[in-house]
C-alpha cells in the first residue's frame, strides 16, 4: 500500500501507524482507478478516453490519480479551472490539459506558463483569448458549443457563424470542438438524439477538427456519440453513470470510521437529537466518529431529518460481514448505527465500520441522502487518513 503525504506517494507497510490509528480513513485503490479508465477506453471504441481530474480528482487526490492515469496511457486531461491545471501540469508532462471554465482576465499567464488549453465558452471569452494571443503568440484552444443543456458554450448559431466568418483570424484554430450531454444517464431521453444532431451540424462546419461529446453516461449511448475523444468522469472513480443499469465499474474509494463506544439501549428509549431514533426492542448502538464535517451528509440520516421524506430508511454501514442501519441524525462529528443483530461480543470500541466501498456502494449512500455519488466523493473532508493501493 502507499501513503500520500506532504505531496509525495511513498510505499508503506499495511500496519502504517497513522492509518491504523486514524479515526477516519480512506483506502483508495489506484489499480481499480486505472482498470476503470481502461474499461471506459474500450467502451469508447476508436475514440481515446480522456481523464477528468477536476475537484482534486473527484476527491481522491490529483497527484496520485494523475500519475496513475498517465501511466495507464491517458494523454488528454480535463480540469475545472486554470489553478487546477497548474497543479496538474507537473504530473502529466506531455499531456494536453483542457480548462473547462476557460480564460478570464488576469489568469491568462497561467495558461501560457503551464501550457493549458482554454475552452472557449462564450463570445466574451473568445475576444479575451484573441486579445491574449495577439500579445503572446499562437496558443491552442477548444470551443464549447451548447447543444441543448443551456449551461456553458456558444449557441449553435454562434458557432456556425464563427465557422463561416470570412474574416475569422487564422490564429483562431481550435484543436477540439466539444459539447456536453444533459440527459445521457437516461438512455431513452429524446434530448440525447437532439443534441447529437445539433453537434453533428457544428462539427461538419469545423471539418478536420477533433470533436468530443460523450461523458461517462454518453459513452454507453454507443459509437455515434463517441466522435474523436470521450470524457468519462464518475465511472472512472467507481460511480454509477447510467440510471437503471448495474454498475460495471470497480469501487475505487472505501471510507471507514472508528467506533468510539458501544451502548446498550432499552426498549422504549430514544437516541440522537430530537429523540429521532426510537427503540422498540432492547438494542446495541455503535457510536461512530464520522459526521457531516467529514462529508457524511446529514441528509443520509433518512427519516431522522425533519421534513425529509425521500428515503426514510437512511443509509447503511457494513461491519463484521453484514449491513447495519444508521440511526437518528448525522451530526458534525458523530453518527449512530444499530448493531443489535450482530453477535453480542462481535462489536467493540475501536472497530472500523465501512461507510461505503466494496460492501456498501457509494451511490446507495448517496441515494439515502437524496444526492449522487459525485457529491459524496467530492465532499470527503480533510480528517481522513488516506492510503493508496498502487496500480500495477
- Strand partners of residue 144: 178
For residue 288, what is the domain's CATH number? Answer: 2.40.37.10
Under the banding of pLDDT at 50, 70 and 90, the label for residue 169 is confident
Domain count within the chain: 2
Section 274-279 average pLDDT: 91
Q: How confident is the model at residue 367 (pLDDT cuts 50, 70, 90)?
A: very high
**Mean pLDDT value of segment 309-337:** 87
Kindly state whether residues 167 and 130 are assigned to the same domain: yes
End-to-end Cα spacing for the chain: 11
Instruction: Decide if 33 is inside a domain.
Output: no
pLDDT band at 308 (very low <50, low <70, confident <90, very high): very low
State yes or no: pLDDT of 344 exceeds 90.
Answer: no
Is 50 exceeded by the pLDDT of residue 304? no
Mean pLDDT of 343-349: 93
Q: Which domain holds residue 92?
A: 44-237
Beta-strand ranges (E) seen in the chain are 2-5, 8-11, 24-29, 51-52, 76-79, 96-99, 116-120, 142-144, 176-178, 210-212, 253-265, 270-271, 277-278, 283-288, 316-319, 322-327, 335-338, 352-356, 384-389
Cell of 177: 470542438
Mean pLDDT over residues 132-139, rounded?
A: 92
How confident is the model at residue 267, as a pLDDT?
96
**Residue given cell 441543448 in the structure block:** 148
Q: Is residue 7 domain-resident?
A: no
For residue 158, the SS3 value is: helix
Helix 62-72 × helix 30-43 angle, to 10°: 50
Looking at the fold, whether 79 and 225 belong to one and the same domain comes out as yes
Distance of CA 104 to the CA centre of its chain: 25
134 vs 279: CA distance, rounded Å: 71
State which of 184, 205, 237 marks the end of a domain: 237
Helix axes 190-205, 156-163, angle to 10 degrees: 10
Answer yes or no: is 4 within a domain.
Answer: no
Same domain, 313 and 188: no
98, 102, 108, 112 alpha-carbon torsion, rounded to 10°: 10
**Same structural domain, 178 and 272:** no
pLDDT of residue 265: 96
In a domain, 53, yes or no: yes
pLDDT score of 100 more than 50: yes
Q: Is position 106 within any domain?
A: yes
Q: Is the pLDDT of residue 310 over 70?
A: no
Q: Cβ contacts of residue 11 below 8 Å, gap of 6+?
A: 1, 2, 390
* Per-residue pLDDT at 15: 52
Mean pLDDT of 210-215: 98
In 3D space, the residue among 5, 33, 8 whose CA is nearest the CA of residue 389 turns out to be: 33
- Check residues 307 and 124 and name the one with the higher pLDDT: 124
Catalytic residues: 54, 273
Q: Given a cut of 60, is residue 303 above it in pLDDT?
A: no
- When pLDDT is averaged across residues 334-359 and rounded to a whole number, the result is 96
Query: Per-residue pLDDT tens for 46-96?
Result: 999 999 999 999 999 999 999 999 999 999 999 999 999 999 999 999 999
Alpha carbons 13 and 366: distance in angstroms, whole number: 32
Whether residue 166 is found in the same domain as residue 205? yes
- Domain end: 189, 205, 237, which one? 237
CB atoms inside a 10 Å sphere around CB 359: 15
- The enclosing domain of 75 has a CATH number of 3.20.20.10
Question: Is pLDDT above 70 for 123?
Answer: yes
Contact indicator for 183, 192 with CB cutoff of 8 Å? yes
Confidence band, pLDDT 50/70/90 cuts, at residue 170: confident
Q: Is residue 138 part of a domain?
A: yes
Question: Within a domain: residue 167?
Answer: yes
Give me the pLDDT at residue 168, please: 76
Same domain, 207 and 346: no
Same domain, 223 and 261: no
What whole-number distance in Å separates Cα of residue 141 and Cα of residue 138?
10
Q: Is the pLDDT of residue 199 over 60?
A: yes
In this structure, the answer to whether residues 118 and 257 fall within a common structural domain is: no
pLDDT of amino acid 311: 43
* Arithmetic mean of pLDDT, 155-179: 90
Cell digits for 365?
449512500
Percent of the chain predicted with pLDDT > 70: 93
Task: Please identify which residue in the block is written with the cell numbers 425529509.
Answer: 308
Radius of gyration of the chain (CA): 24
Return the pLDDT at 312.
47
Q: Quick one: 225 and 354 in the same domain?
A: no
In whole angstroms, give the CA distance from residue 321 to residue 323. Answer: 7
Beta strand pairing call for 270-271 and 316-319: unpaired
2-37: pLDDT as tens digits: 454 434 344 444 557 888 889 999 999 999 999 999
Residues 6+ apart with CB under 8 A from 296: 255, 257, 290, 330, 335, 355
| Averaged pLDDT for residues 379-383 | 91
Q: Classify residue 321 by burial, with Cβ atoms within 10 Å: 0-12, 13-18, 19+.
A: exposed
Q: Give residue for cell 480528482.
A: 57
> At which of 237, 263, 280 does a domain end?
237
Same structural domain, 232 and 288: no
Q: Take residue 75 and report the three cell numbers written for it.
A: 494523454
Give the least confident one: 140-154, 166-180, 229-243: 166-180
CA 39 distance to own-chain centroid:
17
Asked whether residue 161 falls in the same domain as residue 188, the answer is yes
Q: Do residues 219 and 275 share a domain?
A: no
- Is residue 127 within 8 Å of 105, Cβ to Cβ? no
In a domain, 263, yes or no: yes
Distance (Å, rounded) from C-alpha 58 to C-alpha 373? 10
The overall average pLDDT reported for the chain is: 92
pLDDT tops 90 at residue 280: yes
Amino acid at each position: 500500500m502507499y501513503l500520500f503525504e506532504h505531496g509525495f506517494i511513498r510505499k508503506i507497510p499495511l500496519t502504517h501507524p497513522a492509518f491504523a490509528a486514524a479515526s477516519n480513513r480512506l483506502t483508495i485503490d489506484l489499480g481499480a482507478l486505472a482498470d476503470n479508465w481502461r474499461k471506459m477506453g474500450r467502451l469508447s471504441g476508436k475514440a481515446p478516453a480522456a481523464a477528468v481530474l477536476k475537484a482534486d480528482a473527484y476527491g481522491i487526490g490529483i497527484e496520485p490519480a494523475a500519475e496513475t492515469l498517465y501511466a495507464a496511457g491517458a494523454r488528454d486531461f480535463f480540469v475545472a479551472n486554470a489553478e487546477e491545471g497548474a497543479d496538474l501540469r507537473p504530473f502529466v508532462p506531455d499531456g494536453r490539459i483542457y480548462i473547462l471554465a476557460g480564460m478570464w482576465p488576469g489568469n491568462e499567464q497561467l495558461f501560457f506558463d503551464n501550457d493549458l488549453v482554454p475552452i472557449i465558452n462564450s463570445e466574451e471569452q473568445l475576444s479575451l483569448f484573441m486579445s491574449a494571443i495577439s500579445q503572446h503568440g499562437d496558443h491552442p484552444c477548444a470551443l464549447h458549443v451548447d447543444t441543448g443543456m443551456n449551461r456553458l458554450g456558444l449557441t449553435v448559431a454562434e458557432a456556425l457563424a464563427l465557422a463561416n466568418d470570412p474574416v475569422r483570424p487564422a490564429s483562431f484554430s481550435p484543436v477540439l470542438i466539444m459539447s456536453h450531454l444533459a440527459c445521457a444517464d437516461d438512455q431513452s431521453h429524446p434530448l440525447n438524439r437532439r443534441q447529437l444532431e445539433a453537434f453533428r451540424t457544428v462539427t461538419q462546419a469545423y471539418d478536420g477538427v477533433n470533436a468530443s461529446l460523450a461523458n461517462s453516461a454518453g459513452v454507453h449511448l454507443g459509437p455515434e456519440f463517441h466522435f474523436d475523444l470521450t470524457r468519462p468522469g464518475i465511472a472512472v472513480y467507481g460511480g454509477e453513470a447510467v440510471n437503471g443499469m448495474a454498475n460495471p465499474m470497480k469501487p475505487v474509494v472505501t471510507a471507514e470510521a472508528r467506533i468510539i463506544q458501544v451502548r446498550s439501549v432499552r426498549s422504549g428509549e430514544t437516541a440522537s437529537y430530537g429523540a429521532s431514533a426510537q427503540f422498540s426492542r432492547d438494542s446495541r448502538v455503535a457510536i461512530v466518529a464520522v459526521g457531516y464535517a467529514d462529508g457524511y451528509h446529514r441528509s443520509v440520516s433518512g427519516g431522522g431529518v425533519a421534513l425529509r421524506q425521500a428515503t426514510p430508511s437512511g443509509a447503511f454501514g457494513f461491519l463484521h460481514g453484514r449491513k447495519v442501519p444508521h440511526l437518528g441524525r448525522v451530526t458534525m462529528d458523530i453518527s449512530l448505527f444499530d448493531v443489535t443483530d450482530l453477535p453480542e461480543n462481535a462489536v467493540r470500541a475501536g472497530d472500523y465500520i465501512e461507510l461505503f466501498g466494496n460492501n456498501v456502494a457509494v451511490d446507495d449512500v448517496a441515494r439515502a441522502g437524496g444526492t449522487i455519488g459525485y457529491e459524496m466523493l467530492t465532499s470527503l473532508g480533510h480528517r481522513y487518513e488516506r492510503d493508496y493501493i498502487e496500480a500495477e
